[in-house]
Amino acid sequence: MIAAGLCALAPAPATAREAAPAPYPYAIDEDRLGGAPDQSALDRPLSGADRIVARQGHFYAVGTDGIPGTQDDRRVRLFGINLSFGANFPPAGEAPALARRLRKLGFNAVRLHHLDSLPSGPDGAPIGILTAGPHPSFHADAVARLRALIEALTREGLYVNLNLHVGYRFRPVVDGLPRLDAGRDSTSIASPLHVYASALVDRQETYARQLIRRLGLKNHPGLAMVEINNEASLLWSWTRRGAWAEARQRHYAPELERRWQAWLVERHGSVEAACRAWIHCPGAVWAGALPAPEDEDGPDGPLDLAAQRVDRMLQRLGVDRAPGRAAPPRKKRDFVQFLADTDAAYFARLRRVVHEETDPRVPVTGTQMAFGGIMNLFSQRDMDYVDEHVYVAHPVAGGAQDRADDWRMAAASASGSSELSRLLALSLRRDALKPFVVSEYNQPYPNPGGSAILPIMATLASLQDWDGLFFFDYADQWPPPEGPTRFSLAGDWGKLALAGQSALLFRSAYVRPLARSLDLPLPESAALDIAQSTAADALERSVERRLSVVPAHAWSFRLAQAPGADDASWTPPPPSGQATPDGQVHHDPAQGLVIVDTPQAWGVFGPLAGRLSAPGISVRPTGPAAPLSLLLTPLDGQALADSGHMLLTVGSATAGRQPGSQPPRPKRVIPYPGKPGWITLEPDAGAAGPSAPRATLGPTWLARHPLELEIATPDRPVAVYPLDGAGRRMAPLPTVAAGDQAVRVRLYAAPEQSSPWFEIVRGTAGQETRP
């Protein structure tokens, strides 16, 4: 390990600072990429021995005997990326090139997302797997293209994560379904009707069976997992008034009400008995009717608000609210349990369909944790793994309408205390007995610090020993963008440059899992309490109140929930600091830095303001502090202290071209008007709104961060080569002696020698090795 926990941060002398330099033009040629940044060696073609199963809380490949649970099983971590909309359907002749691109970047899995969200027409390239006909009407060319892509990915060693229901909006007239309220022609994206309405669930079963058959996924070695539903559940809808109104559509709600009444009979013996059991019930008719969030017994209704006031008063007095004692029965509490059970029935039915059409061992999940909350651990008790999504600085509409020329995002960073705490808290959504996957994450363009999200998430996932990460996304169109665009990695070169080394952090465990685990008891009564709250941090508050555990404990322990376990005999852990016990990772909240220091990885993520040192190497900014992502890893398989061949990547913000500018100049990030702490993109000429669309064209520029690098030279020469967009060496940078055993080199001193990648050779050039 390189100076674990001993990194020194000292401000650079003000007189040595330079003015912020202009960004430099740069683009990555993904098809020709080779050399030091190429991580193709991590993957190999998939075969039957690589079939994925879930067991003992993780994903495993079954091995050559094809039998799970035997000695030849092998742990698999999935470092994946999403394809969205049209990006799933490259022409068959271009699919191999896309698969090779992703393999070079270190990915070993692809999430096939938004297959059903947009219909493909008879002309032009497909943008979805379906046509505009009655659901499910498949687009033949889209099916053929996606099937060819899956085969190309399999040959390059990349698994697929198949998404079923994502964005399809059922249309009563076209699909032959009951009418919607107010004469609407389709369900909304937030509608939960497809979770309980029999006619809609039947159509999803048909769609799932036909999709799997048409794609040839029966016993397919490349099928790693299946997601039933992207972002929807009845549990989630109940706490969102607009979404719950969707669930109570006049021609659909009677079916849900009948199921609610049948559930009460099964639970209490009769609706009347349920009414007698509750602490508040005006009568059997009220008991059997579907509640609404604004009802007196609903979330934030009068009874709920009164209970919240009592809880706050007791909390101020330091009195815990009867830990271990079940809360008095209320209609709302029973209804939340009913919603969880109804969600569970939907998930179980579709899981059975997937297993009948593919293989009973294929891991399946229901929906992500944020769309249902902690009760999802109970509604998805029959699922095979747990899934979650997380975004740092997700863009939001500037006004009441969602417009491309009026949007904003928080000027937040994954290395800052508040956002990093949110990322650490992801482990509070994990089930101790199941694999944990984050199938969407990003700190999207144009956030200036967005390049840090890949290595920070890879670091946290490896510390916590998670099982899958899927960046959102590679592209949402074909061909991919050539400039930074929305959530895409393609074109966002300052972020993409870090993908390969981030893969090493996670897949090759350059950051090792924490030694100790901490499983958090979660009685179902506590989960019901949390599920009845509309507070975004209800889970964190509950865990802190009941167990004295906070997200920062993820620096010390591998955290997970133990659903159904009793918390009566819980012993609180000691307070946690801001570093791992073994010194691998350290968070400096004052500077907003995350520092990684392991034998095979050294990095700093955030606004570096002073010298950062470790044995054998140090870095010092010579310009203003600015968000950057610096990561050093060996290329020869040795520890960094002994390595003679290394790759240093400096990730930074990417900019596309401002339309109409002559000569072409980068588009600027500007403050959003009237909203301190929020940013947007400078508008295009003549635009009506305060923003520009989050899609840019080339050429592209990367932010330039002048740095001084000092490298130890134990009796060996040192050469530092910036790399061009294909990973080829440019002329070496000038070096100057720093004593007898070190040299100094200036990075970004000249635009023509600027790059996100620097290949470092310590020894005789031409004799370096790479495993």
- pLDDT, tens digit (0-9, with 9 covering 90-100), for 418-456: 999 999 999 999 999 999 999 999 999 999 999 999 999
Q: What is the C-alpha separation between 29 and 755, in angstroms, rounded? A: 13
Local structure of residue 365 (DSSP, 8 states): E
Identify the pLDDT of residue 3: 36
Q: What is the C-alpha separation between 404 and 74, in angstroms, rounded? A: 46
Identify the pLDDT of residue 605: 97
Residues 216 and 121 in one domain: yes
Q: Do the beta carbons of residue 464 and residue 427 sit within 8 Å? A: yes
Identify the pLDDT of residue 306: 61
Of 164-178, 553-567, 602-616, minimum mean pLDDT range: 602-616
Which 3 state secondary structure label does DSSP give 8?
Answer: strand
Residues 654 and 726 in one domain: yes
Please provide residue 518's backbone torsions phi and psi, each rounded to the nearest 5 degrees. -140, 100
Identify the pLDDT of residue 5: 32
Torsion of CA 315, 321, 324, 327, to 10 degrees: -130
Single out the residue of 671, 704, 673, 677 nearest to residue 689, CA to CA.
673
Euclidean distance between the first and final Cα of the chain, in Å?
20
Residue 708 falls inside a structural domain: yes
User: Scanning the structure block, which residue is given the tokens 């659901």?
Assistant: 135
Mean pLDDT within 135-162: 98
pLDDT of residue 323 exceeding 60, the answer is no
Structure tokens at 279: 């602490």
- pLDDT tens digits for range 478-523: 999 999 999 999 999 999 999 999 999 999 999 999 999 999 999 9
Mean pLDDT within 754-766: 89
Of 55-64, 86-95, 295-304, 642-651, minimum mean pLDDT range: 295-304
Domain that includes residue 628, residue range: 8-28+580-762
Q: Which of 457, 472, 507 is the last residue of a domain?
A: 507
Residue 158 falls inside a structural domain: yes
Single out the residue of 601, 692, 592, 672 nearest to residue 641, CA to CA.
601
Residue 623 falls inside a structural domain: yes
Residues 498 and 614 in one domain: no
Of 105-119, 249-263, 519-533, minimum mean pLDDT range: 519-533
Which 3 state secondary structure label does DSSP give 317?
Answer: coil
Q: Do the beta carbons of residue 386 and residue 435 sit within 8 Å? A: yes
DSSP state string for 563-591: ET---TT--PPPP--SB-TTSSEEEETTT
Residues 497 and 599 in one domain: no
Q: What is the C-alpha separation between 231 and 741, in angstroms, rounded? A: 56
Residue 426 CB: number of other CB atoms within 10 A? 24
Residues 201 and 94 in one domain: yes
Single out the residue of 701, 708, 760 nearest to residue 725, CA to CA.
701
Single out the residue of 477, 217, 465, 237 nearest to residue 339, CA to CA.
237
Q: Is the dihedral of CA 9, 14, 15, 16 positive or negative?
A: positive
Identify the pLDDT of residue 242: 77
Q: What is the C-alpha separation between 701 and 707, in angstroms, rounded? A: 18
Residue 145 falls inside a structural domain: yes
Identify the pLDDT of residue 488: 98
pLDDT of residue 667 exceeding 60, the answer is yes
Residue 619 falls inside a structural domain: yes
User: Scanning the structure block, which residue is given the tokens 């290595």?
Assistant: 455
Residue 729 binned pLDDT confidence (cut-offs 50, 70, 90): very high
Structure tokens at 676: 């301190």
Residues 107 and 186 in one domain: yes
Residues 473 and 589 in one domain: no
pLDDT of residue 640 exceeding 80, the answer is yes
pLDDT of residue 8 exceeding 60, the answer is no
Q: What is the C-alpha separation between 204 and 219, in angstroms, rounded? A: 21
Residue 104 falls inside a structural domain: yes
Of 90-99, 153-162, 316-325, 389-398, minimum mean pLDDT range: 316-325
Please provide residue 30's backbone torsions phi and psi, each rounded to the nearest 5 degrees. -65, -30
Mean pLDDT within 689-693: 96
Mean pLDDT within 204-227: 98
Residue 266 binned pLDDT confidence (cut-offs 50, 70, 90): very high
- pLDDT tens digits for range 70-121: 999 999 999 999 999 999 999 999 999 999 999 999 999 999 999 999 999 9
56 — alpha (psi -120 to 50), left (phi > 0) or beta? left
Structure tokens at 7: 């990194």
Residues 587 and 454 in one domain: no
More confident call, 334 vs 533: 334
Structure tokens at 216: 């040839």
Residues 626 and 697 in one domain: yes
Residues written for the chain: 771
- For 33, residues 6+ apart whose C-beta sits below 8 A from its C-beta are 101, 104, 725, 726, 727
Residue 571 falls inside a structural domain: no
Residue 372 CB: number of other CB atoms within 10 A? 28
Residue 536 binned pLDDT confidence (cut-offs 50, 70, 90): confident
Q: What is the C-alpha separation between 153 and 119, in angstroms, rounded? A: 24
115-151 residues labelled b (16+ CB within 10 A) or e (exposed): bbbbbbeeeebbbbbbbeeebbebbeebbbbbbbbbb
Q: Is the dihedral of CA 204, 205, 210, 216 positive or negative?
A: positive
Which 3 state secondary structure label does DSSP give 550?
Answer: coil
Local structure of residue 63 (DSSP, 8 states): T
DSSP state string for 139-161: -HHHHHHHHHHHHHHHHHT-EEE
More confident call, 363 vs 400: 363
Quick one: 304 exposed, middle or buried, by C-beta within 10 A (0-12, 13-18, 19+)?
buried
More confident call, 2 vs 178: 178
Q: Which of 481, 507, 533 is the last residue of a domain?
A: 507
Residues 211 and 351 in one domain: yes
pLDDT of residue 524 exceeding 80, the answer is yes
- What single letter denotes the amino acid at residue 582? D
Q: Do the beta carbons of residue 646 and residue 2 sit within 8 Å? A: no
Of 15-29, 45-59, 328-342, minimum mean pLDDT range: 15-29
Q: Do the beta carbons of residue 218 and residue 212 sit within 8 Å? A: yes
Single out the residue of 505, 502, 492, 510 nearest to residue 453, CA to CA.
502
Q: Which of 452, 480, 507 is the last residue of a domain?
A: 507
Single out the residue of 87, 17, 68, 103 nearest to residue 481, CA to CA.
87
Local structure of residue 512 (DSSP, 8 states): P
Instruction: Output the CA angle 164-168-174, nearest 5 degrees.
Output: 125
Element (DSSP H or E) covering residue 680:
strand 678-681
**Total count of domains within the chain:** 2
Structure tokens at 315: 């909390």
Mean pLDDT within 220-244: 93
Single out the residue of 697, 225, 204 nearest to residue 477, CA to CA.
697
> In the sheet where 58-61 sits, what is the strand order?
52-55, 58-61, 74-75
Single out the residue of 169, 199, 198 nearest to residue 185, CA to CA.
169
pLDDT of residue 18 exceeding 90, the answer is no
Identify the pLDDT of residue 325: 40
Rg (CA), the chain: 27
Task: Supply the CATH number for residue 439's domain.
Answer: 3.20.20.80
Residue 4 binned pLDDT confidence (cut-offs 50, 70, 90): very low
pLDDT of residue 326 exceeding 90, the answer is no
Residues 113 and 216 in one domain: yes
Widest pairwise Cα distance in the chain: 89
Residue 442 falls inside a structural domain: yes
Single out the residue of 447, 449, 429, 452 nearest to residue 439, CA to CA.
429
Of 285-299, 316-330, 717-731, minimum mean pLDDT range: 316-330
pLDDT of residue 394 exceeding 50, the answer is yes
Residue 201 binned pLDDT confidence (cut-offs 50, 70, 90): very high
Q: What is the share, in percent, of the chain residues with pLDDT greater than 70?
A: 92
Quick one: 557 exposed, middle or buried, by C-beta within 10 A (0-12, 13-18, 19+)?
buried
Residues 714 and 614 in one domain: yes
Single out the residue of 456, 584, 458 nearest to residue 514, CA to CA.
584
